Structure formats: structure tokens, C-alpha cells
Amino acid sequence: MTPTVALTYDDGPSQWTGALLDVLAAHDAQATFFVLGCHIAGREDVLRRMVREGHAIGLHGWSHESHLHPGDMLHELQRTSDAVHAACDQTPVYWRAPWNRHPFTFVGYQYVGVDLDGRDVSRPADDVVATVVEGLRDGVVVGLHDGIAPNGELKVGDRLGTVDATRRILKHCRSMTVSELLAVRVGT
């Protein structure tokens, strides 16, 4: 049977998110985007398209700084949530910390980690596809990236490899949003 998973994308929105949305639409797949507040200005239309096409938006902080005092991290989440709401009238509840380092719990926000890390930031699509397809199981949350973090290991380049990898991964699984996947998990 084809496994049902939640594809998730961090560090966007970016100039490559539109191509990724095209691929998801072609496969009738839904994903969750953990967006960075600092990347929203000028790409509000991308967030609106995500919502229109059934995807979910989560929070990844504003600056992608990971070693923040809890109060500062919470402030980043709220500021990013406000920017998301202003852009597309959504109020995100899911969040994922930069580099998935999350020593804090915040009331009102639900943490979503990564079960299956595609390690796509600096690896070619072939390697990403091999890692993800091998790990596909019902109910896993797959971590990928549609943007480039301002302080990440990748300073130049693009996310076209992730777009290509997504197209190939979707031949091997169905993807739904994190909230849909968690509902299925609870129901089984």
C-alpha cells in the first residue's frame, strides 16, 4: 500500500516555493510549510496560494536564530504569526524551531518535529530521494526545505533539487497536512 505521510518544508517562502506548489498540485498532495517571518514580505501571495490549495502554514521563527531566550523565541513566533495572519488570514498553531532544536514549550503552539529528515539543504536530489523513499512509512513527518535560511549552511544555490526530489518522492507516497496526519494518527 502507498504510505500516507506529511511532507513539510522549512525556511520559505522563497522564489522556489511556487514551483514546489506546482508539483504538489500536479500530484494532488498537501504539505505543511514552516515559514520564516523574515521571508514573508513581498511573498504574501505565495502564502495565499498555499491556503487556497489546501496546504497548512506553520511557524519556524522570524530570524532563524536558534539560541534564543524563551521569551524572545515566543516573540518571534507571535511576530511571524501576525505576518502570516496579515498575509492570508490564517493563525498557525504548529511550530518547528530552527534546526529543530526546541528546548521550550509554548502554550498555544504545538511542536512538530521531523521523523524522516531528507537532509536536502546541501545534497543532490538523487540522495534526498534515496533517503526519503527508503524511510517512507504510514504516518511519518518528512522534513525538507523550500527556502534558504539566512544563517544556514547553504549560502548560495537554490531549492530546485528539493522541487525535483519532491516530484519523485510523490510517486511513492500520499502527502497530507500535518493536522490531517495527526488526526489520522489519533483515529487509528
Question: Annotated catalytic, 39?
Answer: no
- The verdict on 10 binding Zn ion (CB under 5 A) reads yes
Strand partners, 4: 174
Question: Annotated catalytic, 145?
Answer: yes
Which residues in the 23-62 window bind Zn ion by CB under 5 A?
none
- The verdict on 146 binding Zn ion (CB under 5 A) reads no
Q: How many CA atoms lie within 13 A of 21 on its CB side?
A: 21
Rounded to whole angstroms, the Cα distance separating 18 from 24 reads 10
Instruction: Tell me which residue has its CB nearest to Zn ion.
Output: 10
- The verdict on 11 binding Zn ion (CB under 5 A) reads yes
Which residues in the 86-145 window bind Zn ion by CB under 5 A?
98
Tell me how far CA of residue 127 lies from CA of 4, 109, 117, in angstroms: 21, 33, 12
Contact predicate 147/13, CB 8 Å: yes
Tell me how far CA of residue 184 lies from CA of 46, 136, 138, 176, 181, in angstroms: 27, 16, 10, 10, 5
The nearest distance, CB 99 to Zn ion, in angstroms, is 6
Nearer to Zn ion by Cβ, of 11 and 120: the residue is: 11
The nearest distance, CB 68 to Zn ion, in angstroms, is 14
Which residues are the active-site residues?
A: 10, 145
Binding residues (CB under 5 A) for Zn ion: these are: 10-11, 98, 149
